[in-house]
Chains A and B, each alone.
Chain A
Amino acid sequence: MDLHILDHRLKVTSICKDGLVNFTHPLIKLIFLRNRTRCKFFSLTETPENYTVVLDEEGFKELPASEYLQVEGSTWLPLNVVSNGHASSSSQAVGVTKIAKSVIAPLAEQHVSVFMLSTYQTDFILVREKDLSVVVHTLEEEFNIYREVGGESVPVHSQDVHNGLQKNGKVATKPTVHPVLSPQNQFCVMSLDPDTLPAIATTLIDVLFYSSSPKEGPQPNPDLDCIKFFSFSLIDGYISLVMDTETQRQFPADLLFTSSSGELWRMVRIGGQPLGFDECGIVAQISQPLADSDISAYYISTFSFDHALVPEEDIISVIDMLQQQRLEPAC
């Protein structure tokens, strides 16, 4: 297995819902005018709380400083696991599940905070730049690690990145087990030919910026039966979309790509209150049990909460499992 440290330096930001008007111009530029910006990594996720925007430094320059813009201070580097065909194709579980044991768990043990971003095409594991040496040191036994520089992959070894720091020092405290909740809407994960992006531009703008228009306003379901969740990412020319089935209907059916089986996903939202960026082991505590049960999943971290998508037929068992887990440490 190969682990690629991609050539992007990312910022994790959050745009407050009220302040969206200040950012529509740069966002539209980043989404639709690929040729007008040098941004190669862009992800926008709408949650009921805010818009989480993850983008590289080139893209970050486009965003105007504003009181509505919250920026996480560190620079994040995306990691990407490439199976290189060595992975046994027997296991059907994919995504976070596949890398849970090999990447997520060891990093959690080393007290490295990770920010997950699953797309239609792949899973990105974002780590802070300052943690890189620990990451390399931790994972080099399992992986051939390459750092991508200008399109070429350069092998990396821990001695190349030593900056004195061998371990984070802190012993991983017993992780807090966060409450989970599962909204009722069904989600689908899709992709799109970038060339046909203009064809859905109006719909996309509508969904992104006008979804919380007053007509739907007075329905915030206290039980969170349905959650507003929409994610768009444009990374290295690949588009990935996560939306619920309700939203999907607004798009022309023949343009969006999804699996031929038409699989649908249910969401598990992690955290009762904003999780912050320093706590580690959150992804691990969700992905571990999924991996144990061989359930595939998408995992999308946002500024406040984490979201896992699991196949809808598995949602009951997953919730049970996670509830169980929450009870156990209490015992």
Chain B
Amino acid sequence: MSGSKPDILWSPHHVDHFVICDSELSLYRIESVGSAETKAGALSLSEETAATLLAINSDTPYMKCVAWYPKHEPECLLAVGQANGRVVLTSLGQSHNTKCKDLMGKEFVPKHARQCNTLAWNPMESNWLAAGLDKHRADFSVLIWDISSKFAPEASIATEKIRLSSGDADSGLVVTKPLYELGQNDACLSLCWLPRDQKLLLAGMHRNLAIFDLRNTSQKMFVNTKAIQGVTVDPHFHDRVASFFEGQVAIWDLRKFEKPVLTLTEQPKPLTKVAWCPTRTGLLATLTRDSNIVRLYDMQHAPTPIGDETEPTIIERSVQPCESVIASFAWHTSSQNRMVAVSTNRAMTDFTVFERISLAWSSTTSLMWACGRHLYECTEEGGEGGAVDQDITTKMRQRAQSRYGHDTAQVWRNHLLAGGDDPQLKSLCILKIWSRGNRGTNSLWCILASRTLSSPPLARRRAGAVGVARTDRRMRCGSTARSGAWRCSCPAGSSAGPEIDVEPFLKSLEQEGEWERAAAVALFNLDIRRAIQILNKGASSEKGDLNLNVVAMALSGYTDEKNSLWREMCSSLRLQLNNPYLCVMFAFLTSEPGAYDAVLYESSVAVRDRVAFACMFLNDSQLPRYIEKLTNEMKEAGNLEGILLTGLTKDGVDLMESYVDRTGDVQTASFCMLKGSPGEVVKDPRVQCWIENYRNLLDAWRFWHKRAEFDIHRSKLDPSSKPLAQVFVSCNFCGKSISYSCSAMPHQGRGFSQYGVSGSPTKSKVTSCPGCRKPLPRCALCLMNMGTPVSSCPGTGKSDEKVDLSKDKKLAQFNNWFTWCHNCRHGGHAGHMLSWFRDHTECPVSACTCKCMQLDTTGNLVPSDSI
């Protein structure tokens, strides 16, 4: 403001003109670089813009404040407030306007000289200029001058003379009689006209904010406060005013002027400027002394004095227009979020505050973001395939749509529902069958643990899971092999009981075309002949690989000799085989007895096969070590195949946790863990979190039916998750819950029609209260009494008793359900209500104007899945 610190003002009408004022006034035009680069002396303001100096005015010394005339004509008229309180009208650049010439140099002089702190043109009555002055013991501090006397063409010279006669008549340009004098014996530090009424002036006086009403100057509204500097009205919200004191900004609401509605966090240094952004609502920029950043406060949801005490949500951020210390800045009047900042050394920067980006993912992978006044939507390119398809939400959504996880009868089919392309899911699903078959989730571990009981630490760890402890080595071995490889491999022909025949399993593998695996399984069962046979079969099959014959050939050359050429070549060349099963076959054949690491740690071989192998060939001390090591590996990798080892226990949750961390697939985690033993696993907060997230996800996709199915499925497996009844229907007459009494009644068959009775007369009608037998309320549309048959007793429904919701087993069609508006309490049959609100917005009850359906936020949404 004063000599050393430049200030900046945008022209109110020329979007490309601004004035820098320090000891003199300099008018600049701002242009894009393209057009300006030819001109010499243009100052670069940013990468795109440069400023050209148009005019300099140094006629007015001791400038304290400047205000730009708000009207179009004369365009470049400025009022300058000086240190001695005089207000001078001046202009910049050539003016062809005679009105402007008349006004030029006109001075407005207060009775007692003191600093002019602030100036404000009345935006409506544009010949009114308010000046705020320092304190004088006898004088007024707010003077409103009328510049118009000469302005109006019909204003006669005579009146002019009268006006001027009071002042120095010699210059003829000095006015000493203000239109209004306000604020006696006070100081005025800041001023602004209120847009509410052209005669209201808000002034930051010494220690109070005052609103002067020029219609009645003897009255004013005021509030005592320190925050009296830089009063400024929010251009978008005319009741909101900002003012500051030292480092603190106070936000006022003029409708409740007693205290600030908000004070912003105090800055360590005193503020020098506070300005509302004219192009965006609720954005306030503040500048502190000796700072090179402009602090922005985004007040989209600032509190209003009326009503709620909600926490104000203000987003504070800082922008740095330039490296050097900023002396002042000014928002551009029309360009969005644009400002010019001027540094103390008069370097100028054209700067646009980048709008915050708010980003939103939809639940169906499309992305949308808003920036400033633009809304961008990101759409998937190419639709199918590509990176987007890899996203887990897309997968989960597709899987949910294909009812993944819901095939409880044939669990192994779920992996087909999931798309069938994920080996981990496949192994998991296979495992589920297995676990079901054993009537428990920990069966594998029961047996494994029994097999490894001799290993105390592991055994102890699994102690809870140990069902039957067997000591007989043979039995153990056999059962282990069976447990690990019921479907996978090798009833140990050599060591274990002959009761397990590997042949059916080999057959099924052959059918699936897994020749290599089948051959490996046969080999591990020490049946080379069968293995070769399988390989030959594979080579001769339709899509068979002829190389299998070569492998079979190599296999047939197996020799026991330690140092044979065969052994040497196989052990080195096996690594070049692509198929892991072929690879491990040779590894097995060439390895020393007891050293099977090449087989056991071949990660491409299915875990179940490796475990089966381990069970067959590792001794009692090696096996638990291997199992433990593999378990930890699986847990860390989040490999679902490892569920075989952990079971659906706490360890399984750990494993699943790393799987979810890796993939985000809460869907699989939820379905899988629901089968865990209810006590510990399902209660695990992680599991609950996955389940809740999956439910939310289904809701977000509007897969409400899927979610309901999931909930039903869940409540069967985990009865504790069943939500308590939230809605009770009680009889108007007796007050008893109608459902409660129903459940106590003998079972009512489906034979009940809405009004009919069947069976003995002692049984009450569906449409009457089972307690008092009074009729239930009528449907507002069909005027029939409502009533639905109720299932006999919810407690008797066994979890394994499959309830197929889509079939007619339901006791009452949804259309017959009770439904009512929570607001007006009218209602009727759900089906009737639905069809009514398809065409109407108001309640069907005549004379009720309740807009029931609009009160239901989700009522108008259509589920995106079908039952």
Contact = CB atoms under 8 A, between A and B. Distances in A.
Interface of A: 4, 81-85, 87, 89, 92, 94-95, 118-123, 146, 148, 151-153, 191, 193, 195-196, 238, 254, 257-261, 296
Contacts of A196: 62, 83
Given A119-B137, A121-B135, A259 B183 contact: no
Contact of B182 (A85, A152, A153, A258): A85
B624 interface: no
B224 interface: yes
Contact of B137 (A95, A152, A254): A95
Interface string B223-262: 0101000000000000000000100000000000000000
Contact of B184 (A87, A121, A193, A257): A87
A85 B210 contact: yes
Q: Which 5 A-B pairs have the closest CB atoms?
A: A257-B113, A94-B138, A121-B135, A193-B83, A259-B112
Contacts of B184: 83, 85, 87, 89
Contacts of B245: 151
Given A122-B135, A193-B115, 5 more contacts: A81-B185, A95-B138, A120-B136, A195-B3, A196-B83
Contact of B113 (A87, A94, A259): A259
Contacts of B140: 89
16 contacts: A82-B206, A84-B208, A87-B184, A121-B114, A121-B134, A121-B135, A153-B224, A191-B136, A193-B83, A196-B62, A257-B112, A257-B113, A258-B112, A260-B110, A260-B176, A296-B138
A133 to B, nearest CB: 23
Contacts of B298: none
Given A82-B186, A193-B115, A238 B134 contact: yes
Given A84-B222, A123-B137, A296-B138, A257 B183 contact: no
Contacts of B851: none
Interface string B182-196: 111111000000000
B85 A87 contact: no
Contacts of A296: 138
B220 interface: yes
Contact of A85 (B83, B134, B136, B220): B220
A148 B226 CA distance: 11
Contacts, number: 90
Nearest to A240: B137
Say what secondary structure dominates the interface of chain B: loop
Nearest to A97: B138
B133 to A, nearest CB: 10
A152 B226 contact: yes
Nearest to B109: A260
Contacts of B2: 195
Contact of A260 (B83, B111, B138): B111
B207 interface: yes
Given A195-B83, A257-B114, A85 B137 contact: no
Contacts of B62: 193, 196
Nearest to B113: A257
Nearest to A257: B113
A4 B84 CA distance: 27
Nearest to B64: A193
A122 B185 contact: yes
A118 B136 CA distance: 11
A193 B85 CA distance: 10
Nearest to A118: B137
B510 interface: no
B181 interface: yes
Contacts of A146: 224
Contacts of B134: 121, 191, 238
Nearest to A89: B184
B112 A260 contact: yes
Nearest to B210: A85
A296 B111 CA distance: 15
A122 B114 contact: no
Nearest to A190: B113
B111 A259 contact: yes
Interface of B: 2-3, 62, 83-85, 109-115, 134-138, 140, 167, 176, 181-187, 206-208, 210, 218, 220, 222, 224, 226, 245
Given A118-B137, A119-B137, A122-B137, A83 B113 contact: no
Contacts of B226: 151-152
B136 A121 contact: yes
A193 B133 CA distance: 12
B185 A82 contact: yes
Contact of A120 (B137, B182, B220): B137
B221 to A, nearest CB: 11
Contacts of B176: 260
A92 B184 CA distance: 11
Nearest to A153: B224
A81 B84 CA distance: 25
Given A193-B115, A260-B176, A89 B136 contact: no
A183 to B, nearest CB: 23
A42 B183 CA distance: 26
B657 to A, nearest CB: 56
A3 B428 CA distance: 85
Contacts of B137: 94-95, 118-123
A120 B138 CA distance: 9
Q: Which of B181, B187, B207 is packed against the most chain A CB atoms within 10 Å?
A: B207
A85 B183 contact: yes
Given A85-B183, A87-B185, A238 B135 contact: yes
Contacts of A193: 62, 83-84, 115
B109 to A, nearest CB: 5
A129 to B, nearest CB: 22
Contacts of B138: 92, 94-95, 296
Contacts of B218: 85
A195 B117 CA distance: 13
B270 to A, nearest CB: 13
Contacts of B83: 193, 195-196
B100 to A, nearest CB: 26
Contacts of A94: 137-138, 185
Nearest to B182: A85
A123 B83 CA distance: 22
Nearest to B181: A89
A191 B114 contact: yes
A126 B62 CA distance: 34
B185 A257 contact: no
Contacts of B109: 260
B65 to A, nearest CB: 13
Contacts of A123: 137
B652 to A, nearest CB: 64
Contacts of B112: 120, 257-260
Contacts of A238: 134-135
A91 B102 CA distance: 36
B111 A83 contact: no
B86 to A, nearest CB: 9
A122 B139 CA distance: 10
A196 to B, nearest CB: 7
A84 B110 CA distance: 20
Contacts of B222: 84
Contacts of A257: 84-85, 112-115
A247 to B, nearest CB: 18
Contacts of B210: 85
Contacts of A195: 2-3, 83
Q: Which of B109, B137, B181 is packed against the most chain A CB atoms within 10 Å?
A: B137
Nearest to A256: B113
Contacts of B220: 85
A254 B62 CA distance: 10
Contacts of A81: 185
B293 to A, nearest CB: 24
Nearest to B186: A82
Given A118-B137, A120-B136, A122-B137, A260 B186 contact: no
A261 B224 contact: no
Contact of A258 (B113, B167, B187): B113
